[in-house]
């Protein structure tokens, strides 16, 4: 998967959507359209943070960071989630509540409907880019959700929430147009804000697990155990510990029981063979530590 392609596509789409929504929101007075503008600009900032995290994670290991900088992507994905969902959600929610408490006039309703419709199309475009990249890398949405690609999941959630929020905003503006109930514009904005905040909580909780050191999924661990124990020189794997250092970077420590009577050279050859096989079968295993037992 090429995360840069998805992130850059998100940056371009949100820059366009921010300009279009702000251009209509200011003269129309619609808080629903303003909520789309706020969400688009925070999406833009969040995507820039994700892009920076991607490049920062590629720095070479140092003495102070011997396992590299893969967790930069987790950290910046966490920050991006806070900006995109929590901060934006609170701003949109407060904007909606203000319109509910003191409904202001809404003008240029047709323009508002058009720009919100464009937001839906733009978000669908973002989902298309993600699905195309998943197809190219022979992955699915299910594997993306199970993976530790937190930044890409955040972008996918952004697009889904944007579609849902845009539909809600579109409905609120329609109510304003048909019934002249300006309070509906504020209710739509408040609902969008609530959706953003709720999604932010979900992503923040997942970020915490990865930042403090999450192991690989049990399914993958079982596959690795089965792979190792197929080696003729392995009696039993006594222990397996792992930690995800990045979306494509895993540290794994193994305690392997070898048969009595094997020489040091034979054990070293077996360890080299197992390590090579693991790296070929699971490219994300970049750091493998094997402790032999007999």
For the stretch 219-250, pLDDT in tens is 999 999 999 999 989 999 999 999 999 988 99
Give the distance from CA 35 to its chain's centroid. 22
Question: pLDDT tens digits, residue range 183-221?
Answer: 999 999 999 999 989 888 888 888 888 899 899 989 999
Contacts of 163 (CB under 8 A, 6+ apart): 120, 123, 124, 127
String of DSSP letters for 209-242: HHHH-PPPPHHHHHHHHHHHHTSTT-SEEEEEEE
Which domains, ranges and CATH numbers included, belong to the chain?
Answer: 3-212 (1.20.1510.10), 218-293 (3.30.70.1350)
Cα gap 25→217, rounded to integer Å: 45
218: number of Cβ within 10 Å: 8
Q: What is the pTM of this model?
A: 0.86
* Sequence-ordered list of residues with C-beta below 8 angstroms from that of 293, at least 6 positions apart, any chain: 238, 255, 256, 257, 258
The tens digit of pLDDT for each residue in 268-286 reads 999 999 999 999 999 999 9
Of the candidates 70, 71, 67, 69, which has an alpha carbon nearest to the alpha carbon of residue 287? Answer: 67
């Amino acid at each position: 998967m090429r995360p840069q392609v998805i992130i850059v596509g998100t940056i371009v789409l949100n820059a366009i959507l921010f300009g279009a929504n702000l251009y209509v929101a200011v003269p129309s007075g619609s808080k629903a359209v303003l909520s789309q503008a706020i969400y688009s600009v925070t999406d833009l900032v969040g995507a820039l943070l994700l892009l920076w995290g991607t490049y920062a994670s590629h720095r070479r290991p140092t003495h102070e960071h011997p396992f590299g900088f893969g967790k930069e992507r987790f950290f910046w994905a966490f920050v991006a989630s806070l900006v995109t969902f929590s901060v934006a959600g609170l701003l949109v929610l407060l904007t909606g509540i203000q319109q509910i408490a003191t409904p202001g006039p809404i003008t240029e309703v047709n323009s508002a409907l058009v720009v919100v419709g464009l937001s839906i199309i733009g978000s669908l475009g973002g989902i298309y880019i993600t699905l195309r990249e998943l197809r190219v890398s022979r992955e699915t949405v299910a594997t993306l959700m199970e993976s530790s690609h937190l930044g890409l999941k955040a972008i996918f959630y952004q697009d889904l929430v944007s579609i849902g929020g845009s539909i809600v905003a579109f409905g609120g503006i329609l109510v304003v147009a048909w019934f002249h109930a300006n309070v509906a514009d504020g209710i739509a904005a408040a609902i969008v804000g609530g959706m953003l905040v709720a999604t932010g909580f979900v992503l923040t909780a997942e970020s915490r697990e990865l930042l403090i050191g999450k192991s690989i999924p049990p399914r993958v661990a079982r596959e690795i155990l089965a792979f190792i124990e197929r080696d003729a020189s392995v009696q039993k794997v006594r222990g397996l510990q792992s930690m995800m250092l990045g979306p494509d970077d895993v540290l794994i420590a193994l305690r392997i029981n070898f048969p009595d009577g094997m020489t040091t050279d034979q054990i070293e050859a077996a360890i080299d063979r197992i390590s090579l096989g693991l790296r070929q079968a699971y490219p994300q295993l970049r750091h493998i530590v094997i402790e032999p037992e007999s």
